[in-house]
Amino acid sequence: MSILVMKFGGTSVATPDRIRRAAKRVGVEVAKGHDVIVIVSAMAGKTNELVGWVRETSPLYDAREYDAVVSSGENVTAGLMALTLQEMDIPARSWQGWQVPLKTSSAHGAARIEEIPTENILGRFAQGMKVAVVAGFQGISPEGRITTLGRGGSDTTAVAFAAAFGAVRCDIYTDVDGVYTTDPRITKKARKLDRIAFEEMLELASLGAKVLQTRSVELAMRYKVRLRVLSSFEEMDDAAGTLVCDEEDIVESNVVAGVAFSRDEAKMTLISVADRPGIAAAIFGPLAQAGVNVDMIVQNISEDGRTDMTFSCPVEEVPRAEKAMSEAKARGEINYHDLVADTEVCKVSVVGIGMRSHAGVAAQMFAALKSENINIKVITTSEIKISVLIDRKYLELAVQALHDAFGLEKAPAG
């Protein structure tokens, strides 16, 4: 018995007609001999509507009741999908998170998956059920309350089920037909990748590519779950989409796999901070406690015992960061002359496992930006990525220039 996991996002199940279209895809896989676990999101827009209702009813809401409300969208989709499959004479049953049960932590709104017992669903497969339709995004806490996994949590649900059940593959159906070298809306030369390594996909997801949720890629990499990203609206084909897999499963790849970007970044600089042991902890501790997601960090050369500390964060978190720094200064934990926020920047990154074995990628990237007269404000690197902060008005130009410079419109040789 082989198990296949198929996940359908909100746009793929937005209407009963689209649910029928998705169900036909499930039927094809059942006909191939698979037992199928289908993970469904809420219909497109439904979760936002439910969140709005919660906030309208109770601005300072109880997180447990928030989860009870917002998880209901997936329950509706799961029931409709199971009914549709039954109308196609395919033995199917819907499962809510607590019925599996998908066991999570107690962190309502951002719960972590702790265990997925397989006995219930495997028992029903043994009795003749062919499809288990599971509501994504939700589980049950040790206290017996419904929990949710955070936005995008249905991707994480799907990968976790694939790992728990030893699935042959996890297919993520969405409104795009795969992973591209960059956003096709910015450059028409963007090319769909046939395969991409887990590490590359994880970097792209964390840097702003919205095809897959970061936590789902982390899980897939840890448990070696082969992921396939494909469109619900394209014709079915065994070679469709993009396979996210081990580096060893990719015969040839370009040095750079893709160009990612994050449009809404801010650059914050603490001017004239004391250069002493522990100053970084004194700065970034309060920021972490305030929930500020710090990314790039640069410390200038010390002069007369003072230095400037620069970091980036999402632009919507600037007020929180300013408040955290002001309060830390008032407590005497840090002392600085000024805090300057530049909210008109963006982050552009090149990602590729080929960087490990090829020199000169940074020089090539910087030369491409120089040729377009784009000034770099901050640079950070890792083993397989290089990221820069630039003025936001140059985002599209920078992405196009880098895509051209690395020849990403061309498939790798071999």
Annotated binding site for ATP: 7-10, 174-175, 180, 185, 210-211
Number of residues that this document lists for the chain: 414
The strand pair at 92-95 and 306-314 is best described as unpaired
Instruction: Specify binding-site residues.
Output: 7-10, 47, 74, 174-175, 180, 185, 210-211
d(CA 8, CA 186): 26
Tokens representing 117 are 């017992």
Query: Secondary structure of the chain: what % helix, strand, coil (to 5)?
Result: 40, 25, 35
Q: Which helix (H) or strand (E) holds 122?
A: helix 119-126
d(CA 4, CA 166): 9
Backbone angles phi, psi at 70, to 5 degrees: -70, -20
293-301: which pairs have CB atoms within 8 A and are 24 or more residues apart? 293/317, 295/265, 295/347, 295/380, 296/347, 296/378, 296/380, 296/387, 296/389, 297/380, 298/378, 298/379, 298/380
d(CA 3, CA 27): 14
The answer to whether 33 and 67 are in contact (CB under 8 A) is no
Residues whose CB falls within 8 Å of the CB of residue 264, separated by 6 or more in sequence, listed in order = 314, 315, 316, 346
Instruction: Specify binding-site residues for substrate.
Output: 47, 74
d(CA 216, CA 227): 10
User: Burial letters for 363-401: b for 16+ Cβ neighbours within 10 Å, e otherwise?
Assistant: ebbeebbeeeebeebbebeeebbbbbbbebebbbbbbbb
Strand order from edge to edge, sheet including 338-351: 297-299, 306-314, 258-274, 338-351, 385-391, 378-382
d(CA 141, CA 292): 27
d(CA 255, CA 116): 38
